[in-house]
Amino acid sequence: MSYGRAGVALTIAAIILISGLYVRLSFSNPSPQGAIIDDAYQYYKDFQTHTFGVAPKSITTKTFEAEKNQKLSLNLIIGNSGPASPSSSVIRTVINVTDSKGEQVVYENNVGPNYSIQPIQIKNSGTVSVAITNQEDTPLSVTMYIRQSGQPPLVGGFDDAIQTFSNWLIIVSSPVFGLGAWLLVSERKKKGTTSSTAPMA
């Protein structure tokens, strides 16, 4: 017994389903992807937190390593550490951030006790310098936080795309199977009706 259109539909559905399962089993491999991300991207490495003092009328410089186009946030907590120094909304300091080629990234004068810059985009790979000039007559205490800013690289992006594509193939195969089943039933009914109405010999 031959069911032309139903057979074609069921065959196509089976091919789509098998293709979806094959793609998922053959290409999904999350373990190596994680290793590649950990080794290749500097964004996941922890940055140090620096706590230091700046003497009156002097400059203290701290450095860190950064990659080209890396986006960072810089947070400074600055306070007067001299005896009987009243708190102030403005502390006379100069903050000068330069990259490895000496290009100025940030320059700020007379900042408050809590200062935040984000994001800073690094243009040149290498050593970034943060110079803090204390213009006060008393020493300053500074805590500097450097953190990665922005969205990190997508972990498992290739595997997620493969899984999505394989799921799509499996889902698409379902209505095609349904169409094949409907055509199969319709053709069987049609053949049964033809047989019952055939003239007796």
Local confidence pLDDT in tens for the 201 residues of the chain: 445 677 777 788 788 878 777 776 776 554 433 333 343 444 444 567 889 999 999 999 999 888 888 888 888 888 887 654 545 567 889 999 999 999 998 898 877 788 887 778 888 999 999 999 999 889 999 998 888 765 554 545 555 677 777 777 778 778 777 777 777 777 777 766 655 555 554
Q: Write the DSSP symbol of residue 185.
A: H
